[in-house]
Amino acid sequence: MKPETVAARGARQLPSVSRPLTPPIFQTSVFVFEDLDTAEAVWDGERPGFVYGRFGTPNHAMLETMLAALEGGEAALVCASGMAAITALCCGLLEPGDHLIAARDLYGSTAALLAEEARRLGIETTFVDATRVTEVLAARRPATRAVFVEALSNPLLRLADLEGLAGLAREGIHLIVDGSLATPVVLAPLARGATLVVHSVTKFLSGHGDVTAGVVVGPRPVIERARASVIRIGATLGPFDAWLGARGLRTLHVRLERQSDTALRIARWLESHAAVAHVHYPGLDSHPQRALAKTLFPRYTGALLSFDLHGGRRAVETMMERLRLIEFAPSFGDTATTWSYPARTSHRGVPEPERRALGIGDGLVRLSVGLEAAEDLIDDLAGALYQ
């Protein structure tokens, strides 16, 4: 072959009797076939294989297999972000004229998606206090197709009574749980009566702050309808992010165990500090749903907590100036401990009266606990809180 042909086509595959311990990254946008019959069979799903990047690669399949197994679901679909996963689920599950019941204190972008974009598609959403089973059930209509709650709400760590809502499935109503704050280490929603689980893989599941991805896990028919929507709208995850997500997932349990233990130590310390008005963490006896937390979370209560500072925004700004180790970042789930200010990040688009009614005041701080020594984190907070 001439040099230009060698450069364009040479050394694509090398013979080997060994295989890599770590799965490789399939950084390709398309796959080749040896004959048309095989291409047809793979395209139609009659034989295993891959066709085109937007349809998925082996890295997508690996991550989906792991996540479905961890959640105990039939199938999983990974997407370009957590919001893409929720969008895909809406497209695969809901039709114009359907009604959705959602928690009033959902993550801000999720609430906006359901209130605005879903409405444009002919889907109506009623927002309720998801901590009250009676209020959720009272909002049902003949057109109600699903209920959407969070395992732990962001940022106030409120709990939905999943077992109290489990009976919805008998009425043909799907119970969708966003498990991003909890992860399967803390809570397995499908085992508690949910029919579908969504996650921002960006957060604790990948765990290293270098991935943007989402997943939905549940019954195969719903997942495959959602997959068809993802392929059409192009919300496919890149193979490298899928590879990174699987890499991070392998250490999920050891990370969350350590982070949960540290979060509980910090929450107890904050609760005794004079600058702190209130601590929101389901592992504390002071949490208003502590009895439910013990039922839902028998081992760990998560790596996220929030606390209200006396002095409001001024106290928050003082804390920000004094912190030396813990950094401000409008996300969570990293190996490094970070903090954020919900009033101006996750809920900045919520009108102030509504935000305050939700319990998100000017002194509320959210802390995502990482893998550092608990003593170092407490020392940093001790030097930063307003005295």
User: Domain segments of the chain: what residues?
Assistant: 56-249, 252-384
CA atoms 27, 29, 34, 36: torsion sign = positive
Q: Judging by DSSP bridges, how do beta strands 124-128 and 144-150 pair with one another?
A: unpaired
Whole-angstrom Cα distance, residue 346 to residue 363?
15
DSSP 308: E
- Residue 205: name the closest of 152, 246, 240 by CA: 246
- Residue 203: name the closest of 191, 193, 216, 213 by CA: 213
Whole-angstrom Cα distance, residue 337 to residue 67?
25
Asked if the domains at 56-249 and 252-384 fall in one CATH topology, the answer is no
**Which CATH code of 3.40.830.10, 3.40.640.10, 2.170.270.10, 3.20.20.220 fits the domain covering 56-249?**
3.40.640.10
Give 198: exposed, middle or buried? Use CB within 10 Å, 0-12, 13-18, 19+: buried
φ/ψ of residue 285, rounded to 5: -65, -20
Let me know: does 195 contact 205? Beta carbons within 8 Å: no
Give 11: exposed, middle or buried? Use CB within 10 Å, 0-12, 13-18, 19+: exposed
Q: What's the confidence (pLDDT) of residue 211? A: 97
Let me know: does 281 contact 157? Beta carbons within 8 Å: yes
Q: What's the confidence (pLDDT) of residue 387? A: 66
**Which CATH code of 3.90.1150.10, 3.30.450.30, 3.40.190.150, 3.30.390.50 fits the domain covering 252-384?**
3.90.1150.10
Whole-angstrom Cα distance, residue 368 to residue 40?
48
Whole-angstrom Cα distance, residue 182 to residue 224?
25
Catalytic residues: 54, 107, 178, 203
0.85 exceeded by pTM: yes
Radius of gyration from C-alpha coordinates of the chain = 23
Which residues fall within 8 angstroms of residue 276, CB to CB, at 6 or more apart?
270, 307, 308, 309, 310, 385
Stretches where the chain sits below pLDDT 70 are 387
